[in-house]
Amino acid sequence: MNREKLINQSTDALINYTLHLADDALILGHRNSEWCGHGPVLEQDIAITNISLDLIGQARNFYQYVARQINDFQKTESSQAPSLLERGFGGEVTEDTLAYLRDNREFKNCLLVEQPNGDWAKTILRQFLFSAYQFYLYQELQDSKDEQLAAIAEKSLKEVTYHLRWGSEWVIRLGDGTDESHQRMLKAIEELWMYTGELFTATAYESQAVAEGSGVDVRLLKAPWEEKIEEIFSEATLPYPPLSGGGKGEAVFQQTGGKEGKHTEHLGYILAELQFMQRTYPGSEW
Amino acid sequence: MNNFFRKLYYGDIPEEKTGAGSQQVPKVSPTGGDSEGASDWPLWEIFIRSKQGLDHKHVGSLHAADAQMAIENARDVYTRRMEGVSIWVVESKHIHASNPDDAENFYEPAEDKVYRHPTFYDLPDEVKHM
């Protein structure tokens, strides 16, 4: 393997890794934004929309960073161009190019964040499970060798700390609330738990990013994450660990693939709505 | 997921209950059911202290199930544009107010008692900033 190819691989890994972080934030941000105007009460409508805006803000930071890297390569006209360019965006790449003009299979978000909102319990649980993961992820990412990633992580961690607090409170409130809310939480766990394993399963680009000191080894986040989930679930009188067959069966089979572009059917619908304007009126601004 | 094609998938809230075009207060619980409503949540008065301010100022009110939630709701509703660095919440029922009907005997007697303002003292020239 020649040197050029090595550099290419390393750039690819960093770009894919950053895109993965961005896509996670964008898709969950978009999901939460679907609640805007539909929240159960005014105050929570604003709360979930704030979280949505936080996440989309994080996504923007990551996308801008990816766009910069790609444009730098385009300027040098080097043969080491990252493979993402082979598909050809045409011209300068911006954060919008990355969010609005990539297809389903190019998105690297995990399966958990693209799951439908369902009822309030499911939205809350999805946010809680993901915020807990993001909390430990960003804590580690602050020490990344890549200064840009470290800076974004440090800035975003403050937001995520609040998301985790908000999500934890709601999980406890609903889990340890009425029969109805408890049942809804159980149903939400049954629908979402199968997507949590993917968070801690490293893809090739993640491992490469870890090897180069820019990424976080997600396998190491599993223990603190499980501890946090168990702590909150036990306070919420919810079963831990969640088992198949309504708690009587075995460990739940874990779905993976989203981080490598193999998504559930739901992502296509999200992108159809998210990308419609730019696809129909390319380059439109307002 | 069949609920993906149903119109209710945002939050299980039937549209006729979301208040649009209707005068009646929607009774919607956080879990989406309509038996116990948010209207059951008590009202809280919110006080925010800004970065430069010394005192907490009343900024409005909101609904919340308890003090903890009231503080978090206040954070989300009233401090999203950097309005403050400290939040107080008080359940509205604990605030006792004067009766507007008492205005006459409460405030008007003070109107002809200007001597209550400390404006009748001769200040020496050396004293500044008074």
pTM of the full structure: 0.82
Q: Is the ipTM of this complex over 0.90?
A: no
Which residues of chain A neighbour B31 with C-beta distances below 8 Å? 40, 119-121, 174, 177-178, 180-181, 184
User: Among all residues of chain B, which has the CA nearest to that of A50?
Assistant: B76
Could you report the per-residue pLDDT of A136-187, keeping only the tens digit for each? 999 999 999 999 999 999 999 999 999 999 999 999 999 999 999 999 999 9
**Mapping DSSP to helix (H, G, I), strand (E, B) and coil, where does residue A175 land?**
helix
Torsion of CA A157, A160, A165, A167, to 10 degrees: -160
Cis-peptide into A241, omega within 30 deg: yes
Could you report the per-residue pLDDT of B12-66, keeping only the tens digit for each? 444 444 443 333 334 444 444 444 444 589 999 999 999 888 899 999 999 999 9
Which residues of chain B neighbour A35 with C-beta distances below 8 Å? 10-11
Flag whether pLDDT at A3 surpasses 80: no
Flag whether pLDDT at A207 surpasses 80: yes
In chain A, what is the greatest distance between 2 CA atoms, to the nearest angstrom?
63
Q: Which strands make up the sheet holding B43-49, listed edge to edge?
A: B57-63, B43-49, B86-91
Q: Computed from CA positions of residues A224, A230, A232, A233, in that sequence, does the dihedral angle turn out positive or negative?
A: positive
Give the confidence band of A267 by pLDDT, cuts at 50, 70, 90. Answer: very high
The residues, any chain, with a CB within 8 Å of residue A200's CB and separated by 6 or more, are A218, A219, A221, A222, A225
Give the gap in angstroms from C-alpha B82 to the nearest C-alpha of chain A. Answer: 13
Could you report the per-residue pLDDT of A71-128, keeping only the tens digit for each? 887 776 555 556 665 566 667 889 999 999 999 999 999 999 999 999 999 999 999 9
Residues of A within an 8 Å Cβ radius of B: 34-35, 38-44, 46-47, 50, 116-121, 123, 162, 165-166, 169-170, 173-174, 177-178, 180-181, 184, 266, 269
